[in-house]
A and B are shown apart, each in its own frame.
Chain A
Amino acid sequence: MAALARFITKNKLSKLTVTGQILLPDSASCLSVKAFLEMCGLKYSVVLRNNAEHMSPSGKVPFIQIGPFLISEFEPIIGFVNTKGFHLSANLDDTERAEMRAYMALVDNILVNAEHYISWCDATVLQTVTKPRYGSPYPWPLNKLVPLKKWYEETSRLKALGWSQKTLSEVCEEVQTCCQALSERLDKNNFFFGNRPTELDALVFGHLFTILTTPMPVNKLAEIVKNFDNLVHFCARIEQQYFSATEAS
């Protein structure tokens, strides 16, 4: 039984940039959720609003609206969808599930923070990509003031996590380690656990695919991921299997 969900994220086309308002970390989160819903076989529609962040119950995108319910972010959405009877990892035993959670935590701690770092702490990316994009839906002077406020919030948060003090090469090392671990776990299989996709597959796909396909002036992250052939092929496979079909229909 397919439930219809409305999937809300932000991506307003502006005259400034070609690809709109959304930033790398948010784009990755959105793709993870989309992949999860596709893997569950759930139908959804995508709505784009430039104030989606402020509409969200937790202040982060994406969030889904099912009837009167609003749920935001990857983990809570998984939890909610599970309560409706859709499970991806039901066939895993407890050990495997714990392992899966550990890898998901790895992605959250490393990849997600690296994406935020490259968007907000790298000077080139900040000035040429992040600030113009984030401020694009707003008139002057908000298009300068709003990204500035967000920059302050993001760097404070990254500082508390210990990430803003890292150098780019340190961040790259961490990403390298993370990809190494994922690549070893995936090995020559189609999916991370068994021959069916799990939440981990959705999460990894969302982040790696976005890193690989988002053009950035500083491409370090994409270069690191490209070193791992099985991860690149994994992304291509998932895209082929779950997203090309949708586009064709």
Chain B
Amino acid sequence: MTSNSNSADEDQMNIMMDMEGNVYLPINKTFMSKKARIEKVMVKGLNKTKDDIVLKQFPGVFTAENLYEVYRKAEEARERLLRLDIFSATNVELDTANDSSKPDSYSLIVNVKEGRTMNGGMHMNSDLNGNITPDMQIHFRNLFGRAEKTMLDYQFYSYGASTSRINLKFTKPLGGDPDVLYSLGVQQYRGTQEWAGFKQIDRGIYSGLMFPSAFGTHTLQWNGFWREANCLNHKTSFPIRESMGHSMKSSISHTLIRDRRGTSPFPKSGYRLKTTQEYAGVGGDVKFLKNELELEMNKSLPFGASLQLNIGSGVLRSLNGTAVKVSDKYFLGGPLSLRGFKINGVGPTSDGNSLGANSYWLGGLHLYTPLPFLPNLGGIGKHIKTHCFVNAGGLVNVDFNQNWEQILQKYRESPRVSYGAGLAMQISLFRLELNYCVPVKVQPGDNVNPGLQFGIGIKFP
């Protein structure tokens, strides 16, 4: 008997798979009543992988008391083994024990095939301006036998693009748990912020821990980065020039992501919550406290349509009275944020350069409808929708010496609002949009982009 046979024979297991790819083991009275125990677990096909990490994926397998539980535990174990990303194939079999005096005993045989250690490829990446840049990645899997991974990521600085990155990252699941990941990396990132008239090189090290909890997935990370900001050209405005130079940011951040959305792309139900807190000041000369929140909520409507609400906000408070550098400020605007405005073109501005602010808020209400002439399900219809939207947002320089009322008044004073309609396409991590936007509420100094706007960006689906 194997766990993936689906014969109609009553004595055998019928595995059911639904449209979303989830596997169900139907509760079958026969299997619930049939007593069974796992006596022994054998793993075949291990070469480099250490025994202990494989065995750690079978918790409680020996506590199974009936055949249904045996199958369930076996399937869970198989799924965990796959998530370790060590093996290219896993197969779990049950075999009766050789000893005839124990008729209810079974042996669990796990057949694995270790995947290739080195893997790599080239794919496309997109920067904030929508420029497509080639990105080369090399992965080394299962380096020392316990699912350790090293990844080298090199994003080229190609003509017309404004970013390049080289990143070397090592990850290891702790305690054999594929959901608890420790990572350590070193990175150099070059970016051009045309909207603000400067370019920046970030060089640094980061180290983090990712783990699940009842609230969602947490990431605790320390970053130590040397930033060097330089003016882009002679047109850079003076307030931006004052932020140029070298600075050192050493910070600890905590991120919580709780994703309870339906299937991507364009989920029709559920929500995604992301909140980040960052404290910069563990060394370095940049000292601030940052708090960010993003919430996406989806609701299904009749005729294949769906409604999506996006809200986001962030506040940065500088500590020790140090002025906030433009490298740390928030910017707003663009085809994937506040539509109808040039990329990061929301003011305050000076001489055409966006200065950014220490706080932002952004809201969007989208109505997605399937394309009128393409089928709703399957093929490309899943990835592309028509949408109409309302976006509102603002950049506020919060003065922390004021009281709550005065601060809230500042938020109320300078909102920007736009509405429009267009096409939205989501293909894996890429989001492409072609919209016709009408900015209705604009503040002096904003760099507006009314009419047809095309954008490409990375949006986690």
Which chain B residues numbered 222 to 256 have a C-beta less than 8 Å away from chain A? 226, 229-231, 234, 238, 241-242, 244-248
In the bound complex, how far is the Cα of B245 from the Cα of A53, in angstroms?
A: 8
Are the C-beta atoms of A51 and B245 separated by less than 8 Å? yes
- Within 8 Å of chain A (Cβ to Cβ): is B79? no
What is the interface of chain B mostly: helix, strand, loop, or mixed?
Answer: strand
Nearest residue in B to A139 (C-beta to C-beta)? Answer: B285
The one of B234, B238, B246, B283 in contact with A51, judged by C-beta atoms closer than 8 angstroms, is B246
In the bound complex, how far is the Cα of B238 from the Cα of A65, in angstroms?
A: 10
- Within 8 Å of chain A (Cβ to Cβ): is B26? no
Encoded as 1 (CB less than 8 Å from any B CB) or 0, chain A from 105 to 146 comes to 000000000000000000000000000000000111110011
Which residues from A are CB-within-8-Å of B103?
A: none
Are the C-beta atoms of B248 and A139 separated by less than 8 Å? yes
The one of B231, B234, B283, B284 in contact with A54, judged by C-beta atoms closer than 8 angstroms, is B231
The one of B234, B238, B245, B284 in contact with A139, judged by C-beta atoms closer than 8 angstroms, is B284
- Within 8 Å of chain B (Cβ to Cβ): is A57? yes
- Within 8 Å of chain B (Cβ to Cβ): is A104? no
Interface size classification for chain A: 10 to 19
Which residues from A are CB-within-8-Å of B247?
A: 142
In the bound complex, how far is the Cα of B284 from the Cα of A65, in angstroms?
A: 30
User: How many residues belonging to B are interface residues under a CB distance threshold of 8 Å?
Assistant: 16
Are the C-beta atoms of B244 and A55 separated by less than 8 Å? yes
The one of B229, B234, B238, B285 in contact with A138, judged by C-beta atoms closer than 8 angstroms, is B285
- Within 8 Å of chain B (Cβ to Cβ): is A183? no
Which residues from A are CB-within-8-Å of B246?
A: 51, 54, 138, 142, 146
Which residues from A are CB-within-8-Å of B284?
A: 139
In the bound complex, how far is the Cα of B226 from the Cα of A145, in angstroms?
A: 9
Asked if A51 meets B248 with Cβ closer than 8 Å, knowing A57-B234, A65-B238, A145-B226, the reply is no
**Chain B nearest CB, measured from A123 CB (Å):** 24
Are the C-beta atoms of A54 and B238 separated by less than 8 Å? no
Nearest residue in B to A59 (C-beta to C-beta)? Answer: B230
Binding site for A on B (CB under 8 A): 226, 229-231, 234, 238, 241-242, 244-248, 283-285
A sample of 23 cross-chain residue pairs with beta-carbon separation below 8 angstroms, ordered by A number, consists of A49-B242, A50-B245, A51-B242, A51-B244, A51-B245, A54-B229, A54-B230, A54-B231, A54-B241, A54-B245, A54-B246, A55-B241, A55-B242, A55-B244, A65-B238, A70-B241, A138-B248, A138-B285, A139-B283, A139-B284, A140-B283, A142-B246, A142-B247
Binding site for B on A (CB under 8 A): 49-51, 53-55, 57, 65, 70, 138-142, 145-146
